[in-house]
Structure 1
Amino acid sequence: MASRLLLLGLLVNLLMLTDARVGVCNGRIGNNLPSEKETVTLFQTNGISRMRIYDPNQATLDALRGTNIELMVGVPNDDLQSLTDQNGANTWVSNNILKYPNVNFKYIAVGNEVDPDKESKKYMTYVLPAMRNVHNALRAAGLDRQIKVSTATYTGLLTNTYPPSDGAFKVPGFIQPIITFLVENNLPMLANIYPYFGYLGDPNKNLQYALFTAQGNVVTDSKNRLQYSNLFDAMLDAHYAAQARVGGGNLEIVVSESGWPSNGGEAATLDNAGKYYRNLIEHVRGTKGTPLKPGRSIETYLFAMFDENNKGPEETEKYFGVFTPRKESKYGLNFN
């Protein structure tokens, strides 16, 4: 019996470690980036087993053929309207998923940071129909359990984040039907979580809290007495609290982006960025979880693989890479 329990414990630990793998977002908004094939090779040689791309870039998909890299592929916001027609969604899935049977698709992010208060509000009415139609197309192909459909939200959709238990969506009427769809189909929510931007908006400017380097707890949530030693957990739990208010209390969140710039703005230094990425990797691949959701690893995608010299409008947007365009590691990260 003891040996069986030991074996079971080892298997559980193995599953936790497997689930804790860290991915990296592969943005391509630059004119000096390595080729798609070189990029995939760089993922492999550094043991990065998960990738996020923002559109079904065919050169990247071709380079991923036959690899074990798990892929999150995005539907750009500009393409959402075309997928509100089921035939359009069927064609998209046929051209970008079924055409690549030896690519290890894991998620399809249908839209990114569609915000009712910003220019992207014009896409609001397209998100859920497009998600539903892509899911239907996958189900027709027998792939709906293997490839999960979702959309990528971000902290800008929340009206409150402090204390974390007060987290709420600014426009619940937009997000609640999406969460209902995800819950009904056992699909995760994707969320872009950036303590860097949280730090910029913090009147106390607690850099250690944002970099995971605070000595002890910094915030005690007065509503539930949970304590927070880092801003990442507080932001993530604010998302969980917001979801709970619209019927998604048990809905899993995958952190689809998180990063820190190394140049171009306040606190944007190589030292700070290196600390953030190293500490984030250590934090999410453990099984500590967050104060509100303890005991679980947090699937997380670092933003981004390379510095992207054509990004903007803020100067910091160019410097989120963990590698330079010359494929040099900026921080010597141990990904997995």
Structure 2
Amino acid sequence: MRLYEPVPAALQALRGSNIEVILGVQNPQLQSLQTAEGASAWVRDNVQNYMPGVKFRYIAVGNEVDPNSGNAPFVGLLLPAIKNVHQAIVDAGLQDQIKVSTATYSAVVQGFPPSQGSFKNKDFMEPIIQFLAQNNLPLLANIYPYFSNLYNSKKDLPYALFTAPNVVVTDPVENREYRNLFDALLDTMYSAVESSGGQNIEIVVSESGWPSSDGADATPQNAETYYKNLIEHVKGNGTPKRQGKAIETYLFAMYDENLKGGDATEKFFGLFNPENQQPKYQLSF
């Protein structure tokens, strides 16, 4: 389960549940983590105070910080905050239980085919990747075939929904075949990570989902198809670059967010209706 910020009521409810948690630090809070003292206080208040009842798996320091986006003001704050939170976790003796990282997304990479993936701004991302690699930490990545398909002029909806087994995109550089957009996006990120010194880094898919309303191809049928096929796919297939292993993946999101800003589709990624808490789809994990 992913919490985007420490919510005391939610953390209390998770006590004894055995549910593993990604706990987030929202971008505006990065400023408070620029010192060792600030990071130690954050870890004490939001992690240690809830242990051992809550099982923390990752701390996501910042979300989709990108020099080319509205999150650009946080660029200079991100790596120091990651380092300080990691050191606070080490000082607390929790480094074998909790891994510190940041959540990035596909917009920070470029290149095709997937083997040619690289970071658009290596000066920003490369030091982060090298720090993660040096400390055996994963990278969290938000992977959305919905948006990649929507903004790609060569749209192929079945390829994005895992329903086009006969559509194959070949990567001639590494002689790999891609039969769905999710794998292509994830391996593009892997290539970017590897080219920046992160050959040993595992990528955790910290978000993936499909909207059910108010946008092109945003229907309940397409959303249900995507979620069902994604769940089945990540259980053990791996990607062409990283074959034969499960892909740790978090579905976005638990509930529709009727108050969320941005494009109308942003309100409709939920697996459950917030009004009655009933599932929108019949999913099996």
Q: TM-score range by the shorter chain?
A: over 0.9
Work out whether 1:143 is the aligned partner of 2:126: no
Shift of 1:214: 0.3
Deviations 1:44-79 (A, max 9, x none): xxxxxxx00100011101111111000000000000
Shift of 1:224: 1.5
What secondary structure, in the 3-state scheme, does the structure 2 residue paired with 1:333 have?
Answer: coil
Letter matched to residue 22 of structure 2? M
Work out whether 1:133 is the aligned partner of 2:84: yes
Aligned counterparts of 1:246 and 1:65: Cα–Cα separation in 2:
38
Aligned counterpart in structure 2 of residue 297 of structure 1, from 246, 263, 269: 246
Aligned counterpart in structure 2 of residue 115 of structure 1, from 42, 66, 91: 66
Aligned counterparts of 2:153 and 2:64: Cα–Cα separation in 1:
25
The equivalent residue for 1:220 is 170
The equivalent residue for 2:40 is 90
Q: Larger Cα Rg: Structure 1 or Structure 2?
A: 1
Aligned counterparts of 1:334 and 1:215: Cα–Cα separation in 2:
22
Aligned counterparts of 1:195 and 1:52: Cα–Cα separation in 2:
20
Gaps of 5+ in 1: 1-50
The equivalent residue for 2:237 is 288
Q: State the Cα RMSD in Å.
A: 0.9
The equivalent residue for 1:24 is none
Aligned counterparts of 1:311 and 1:219: Cα–Cα separation in 2:
35
Aligned counterparts of 2:106 and 2:46: Cα–Cα separation in 1:
29
Contact map agreement 1:158 1:167 (CA 8 A) in 2 = yes
Shift of 1:140: 1.0
The equivalent residue for 1:30 is none
> Which structure carries more relative contact order (alpha carbon 8 Å, separation 6+)?
1
Deviates more, 1:83-92 or 1:243-252: 243-252
Aligned counterparts of 1:274 and 1:91: Cα–Cα separation in 2:
42
What secondary structure, in the 3-state scheme, does the structure 2 residue paired with 1:274 have?
Answer: helix
The equivalent residue for 1:333 is 283
Gaps of 5+ in 2: none
Letter matched to residue 76 of structure 1? Q
Aligned counterpart in structure 2 of residue 70 of structure 1, from 14, 20, 32: 20
Could you tell me the TM-score, scaled by structure 2's length?
0.98
Letter matched to residue 103 of structure 1? V
Aligned counterparts of 1:65 and 1:206: Cα–Cα separation in 2:
43
Contact map agreement 2:213 2:265 (CA 8 A) in 1 = yes
The equivalent residue for 1:322 is 271
Structure 1: which 4+ aligned runs deviate by more than 6 Å? none
Aligned counterparts of 1:119 and 1:196: Cα–Cα separation in 2:
21
The equivalent residue for 2:157 is 207
The equivalent residue for 1:158 is 109
Deviations 1:16-61 (A, max 9, x none): xxxxxxxxxxxxxxxxxxxxxxxxxxxxxxxxxxx00100011101
Aligned counterparts of 2:157 and 2:283: Cα–Cα separation in 1:
21
Shift of 1:318: 0.4
Contact map agreement 2:136 2:200 (CA 8 A) in 1 = no
Shift of 1:233: 0.1
Contact map agreement 2:162 2:229 (CA 8 A) in 1 = yes
The equivalent residue for 2:258 is 309
Deviations 1:135-174 (A, max 9, x none): 11111111011000000000010122x2111111010111
Aligned counterparts of 2:200 and 2:132: Cα–Cα separation in 1:
11
Q: How many residues align?
A: 283
Aligned counterparts of 2:12 and 2:92: Cα–Cα separation in 1:
21
Could you tell me the TM-score, scaled by structure 1's length?
0.83
Letter matched to residue 144 of structure 2? Y
Aligned counterparts of 1:215 and 1:296: Cα–Cα separation in 2:
20
What secondary structure, in the 3-state scheme, does the structure 2 residue paired with 1:109 have?
Answer: strand
What secondary structure, in the 3-state scheme, does the structure 1 residue paired with 2:146 have?
Answer: helix
Deviations 1:188-221 (A, max 9, x none): 0000000000111222211000000003242001
Letter matched to residue 122 of structure 2? P
The equivalent residue for 1:180 is 130
Shift of 1:231: 0.1
Letter matched to residue 310 of structure 1? L
Shift of 1:121: 1.0
The equivalent residue for 1:5 is none
Aligned counterparts of 1:112 and 1:76: Cα–Cα separation in 2:
7
